[in-house]
Amino acid sequence: MEGEPVNVNEFQELARQALPKIYYDYYSGGAEDEYTLKQNVEAFQGITIRPRILVDVSRIDLSTTVLGYQISVPILIAPSAKHKWAHPEGEVATARAAAVCDTIMILSYRSTCTIEEVASSCNAVRFFQCYVYKRRDISANLLQRAERCGYKAIVLTVDSPRLGRREKDIKNKMVNPQLKNFEGLISTRVSTDDGSNIEAFDANTAFDASLSWKDIGWLRSITNLPVLLKGVLTHEDAIKAVEVGVDGIVVSNHGARQLDYAPPTISVLEEVVSAVKGKIPVLFDGGIRRGTDVFKALALGAQAVLIGRPAVYGLAAKGEYGVKRVIEMLRDELELTMALSGCPTLNHITRKHVRTKHERPRSML
Active-site residue numbers? 254
Distance CA 24, CA 36 (A): 18
Bridging pattern class, strands 227-232 and 69-71: unpaired
- Check the annotation: does 285 bind a ligand: yes
Q: What are the counts of helices (DSSP H) followed by strands (DSSP E) for the chain?
A: 13, 12
Single out the residue of 156, 111, 150, 105 nearest to residue 130, CA to CA.
156
- Check the annotation: does 12 bind a ligand: no
Distance CA 175, CA 210 (A): 26
- Check the annotation: does 145 bind a ligand: no
Three-class SS state of 18: helix
- Check the annotation: does 52 bind a ligand: no
Single out the residue of 98, 104, 107 nearest to residue 80, CA to CA.
107
- Check the annotation: does 231 bind a ligand: no
- Check the annotation: does 254 bind a ligand: yes
- Check the annotation: does 287 bind a ligand: yes
Contact 301, 271 (CB under 8 A): no
Single out the residue of 91, 134, 88 nearest to residue 109, CA to CA.
91
| Close Cβ partners of 114 (under 8 Å, ≥ 6 residues apart) | 180, 181
- Check the annotation: does 319 bind a ligand: no
Three-class SS state of 160: coil
- Check the annotation: does 3 bind a ligand: no
- Check the annotation: does 166 bind a ligand: yes
- Check the annotation: does 81 bind a ligand: yes
Distance CA 101, CA 164 (A): 33
Contact 222, 144 (CB under 8 A): yes
- Check the annotation: does 309 bind a ligand: yes
- Check the annotation: does 230 bind a ligand: yes
Query: If you count them, how many residues does the chain have?
Result: 365
- Check the annotation: does 134 bind a ligand: no
Bridging pattern class, strands 69-71 and 64-66: antiparallel
- Check the annotation: does 208 bind a ligand: no
- Check the annotation: does 325 bind a ligand: no
- CA dihedral of 157, 142, 94, 187, whole degrees rounded to 10: -100
- Check the annotation: does 318 bind a ligand: no
- Check the annotation: does 191 bind a ligand: no
351-354 contacts at long range (C-beta below 8 A, 24 or more positions apart): 351/299, 351/300, 351/301, 352/50, 353/49, 353/50, 353/51, 353/52, 353/295, 353/299, 354/47, 354/48, 354/49, 354/50, 354/295, 354/296, 354/299, 354/300
Please state the residue numbers annotated as binding site for FMN. 79-81, 108, 129, 157, 230, 252, 285-289, 308-309
Please state the residue numbers annotated as binding site. 26, 79-81, 108, 129, 131, 157, 166, 230, 252, 254, 257, 285-289, 308-309
Please state the residue numbers annotated as binding site for glyoxylate. 26, 131, 166, 254, 257
